[in-house]
Amino acid sequence: MNNNISRKQFLQYTASAGAAALLSSLEGFAAEARQQKLRVAIIGCGSVSNRYIPHLQSSLFIEIVSLCDIKPERAEAQNKQYNVGAKTYPHIDAMLKGAPFDMMVTLTDMQEHGRLNKQALLAGRHVWSEKPMANTYAEGKALLDLAKQKKLRIWGAPAVVNSPQFAFMNKCIQEGKLGKLASAHGQYGHTGPTWSAFFYEKGGGSMPDLGVYNMATLTALLGPAKSVMAMLSIVKPERTVDDKGTVKVEAEDNAHILMDHGNGVISHVMCGFNFFDPHGHEAGNQSLHSIQIFGDKGNMRLIGYDWETNGVILDDSWDQAPKLLSTDKGGYVWQEGATKVGESLINKTEPVINVEHALHVLEVIEAARKSSATGMKVAMKSGFKWPLM
């Protein structure tokens, strides 16, 4: 049996999850419906758009006005499937000249993000970008500088800091429930996407696709990384994917990353495209933990994944059993980032998600590549305001 996640399986799953998100979000916002809506344009109408489109549609503050894909039939198909009623475009140039919009949501191949995000900012649009927001830290920093110069906003996925489980773990740490912090571990993997080659090409890899979630969670909980060491490898030199057939794997499909957060705190992330995990994308029932944090007075385990959270086990007693706490997702879903930042633009509030944090994680990925190639520990330049809340 093939345990990879097929495009068809993912589409089937995302359609039902989208309907649930639509209902719960509509209930939440009904009382506060406003006239003014943020006009959103989506670029990249592949797999992940099946999650983003229904979630954005669930907001009373947002209207999807344009859909764009270099495979134009995909933009048209999504327009029809989700009754979006948007204009569709085969190229970003046409979209920027077409129906007016306020924020671009970038859901294309990872390697295209930096270039497209820059074009949108230059054209005066806010940006929410799937990860990574650029191919290098320098390119990402230049995007932020450009946004600031043009009085625009740019944000990058993931949205892991939005979950109630993140807030709970953050509070436990900040209140000293774990005592003196020492070590943490995060892991995320599956057997790899089967639909598109870009995940395996240069600029792709398991770090920007998967490890990025744990890196975001651990740096947000423990503080910015001061330095990084890593070992990366390619376990399967070739992959067969829907769009290009058999391709050479150029980016790491197996990665171990160590981060030094200062004050003696060290964390470890492992991620890869060769991890058997029957939960895969459909991780709702995962009852095991994927994140652990240890201090000298307690430890915590995040049940599920930081992007699909099912609760937190807190173990801080010598004589009582560990407690399963914070089991309510409170409506959190991993695809909510664009909706939340879009609503923050309309409501003039500041979201928890913060672009300096996304940039910092991008630098961790770059540092890990450098460390693995050279065998050296790599010092980090960037930081972000911490703690986040």
Ligand X SMILES: NC(=O)c1ccc[n+]([C@@H]2O[C@H](COP(=O)([O-])OP(=O)(O)OC[C@H]3O[C@@H](n4cnc5c(N)ncnc54)[C@H](O)[C@@H]3O)[C@@H](O)[C@H]2O)c1
Please check whether residue 121 is in contact with residue 114, taking contact to mean a CB–CB distance below 8 angstroms: no
Between 10 and 294, CB nearer to ligand X: 10
Between 112 and 316, CB nearer to ligand X: 112
43 binds ligand X (CB under 6 A): yes
Residues 389, 380: Cα–Cα separation, whole Å: 23
195 binds ligand X (CB under 6 A): yes
| Binding-site member from 17, 38, 42, 48 for ligand X (CB under 6 A) | 48
Between 158 and 224, CB nearer to ligand X: 158
Beta carbon of residue 114, minimum distance to ligand X (angstroms, whole number) = 11
Between 108 and 165, CB nearer to ligand X: 108
Please check whether residue 266 is in contact with residue 259, taking contact to mean a CB–CB distance below 8 angstroms: yes
Alpha helices in the chain (DSSP H): 7-30, 49-57, 72-81, 92-97, 113-122, 137-149, 164-174, 206, 212-222, 337-347, 355-374
Pairing relation of β-strands 254-260 and 266-272?
antiparallel
Residues 159, 206: Cα–Cα separation, whole Å: 18
Between 88 and 326, CB nearer to ligand X: 88
Q: Which stretch binds ligand X (CB under 6 A): 37-45, 178-186, 224-232, 248-256?
A: 37-45
Q: What angle do CA 239, 241, 243 make, to 5 degrees?
A: 140
Comparing CA positions, the residue from 152, 132, 149 lying closest to residue 140 is 132
3-state secondary structure 6-37: CHHHHHHHHHHHHHHHHHHHHHHHHCCCCCCC
Between 86 and 92, CB nearer to ligand X: 92
x/- map, 236-275, ligand X, by CB under 6 A: ----------------------------------------
Question: CB atoms < 10 A from the CB of 90, how many?
Answer: 16
| Binding-site member from 71, 202, 236, 323 for ligand X (CB under 6 A) | 71
Report helix, strand or coil for 239: strand
Between 10 and 61, CB nearer to ligand X: 10
> Residue of minimal CB distance from ligand X?
46
Between 131 and 261, CB nearer to ligand X: 131
Report helix, strand or coil for 210: helix
Computed on alpha carbons and rounded to an integer, the radius of gyration of the chain in Å comes to 20
196 binds ligand X (CB under 6 A): yes
Q: Which residue is listed with tokens 């993931």?
A: 158
Residues 166, 298: Cα–Cα separation, whole Å: 17
| Binding-site member from 4, 9, 24, 47 for ligand X (CB under 6 A) | 47
Q: Which stretch binds ligand X (CB under 6 A): 42-50, 56-64, 162-170, 375-383?
A: 42-50
Beta carbon of residue 305, minimum distance to ligand X (angstroms, whole number) = 12
Beta carbon of residue 213, minimum distance to ligand X (angstroms, whole number) = 9
| Binding-site member from 130, 306, 343, 366 for ligand X (CB under 6 A) | 130
Nearest 5°: phi and psi at 181? Answer: -70, 145
Question: What is the token pair recorded at 131?
Answer: 């990860």
| Binding-site member from 63, 102, 201, 209 for ligand X (CB under 6 A) | 209
Residues that bind ligand X (CB under 6 A): 43-48, 68-71, 74, 92, 107-110, 112, 116, 130-131, 195-196, 209, 281
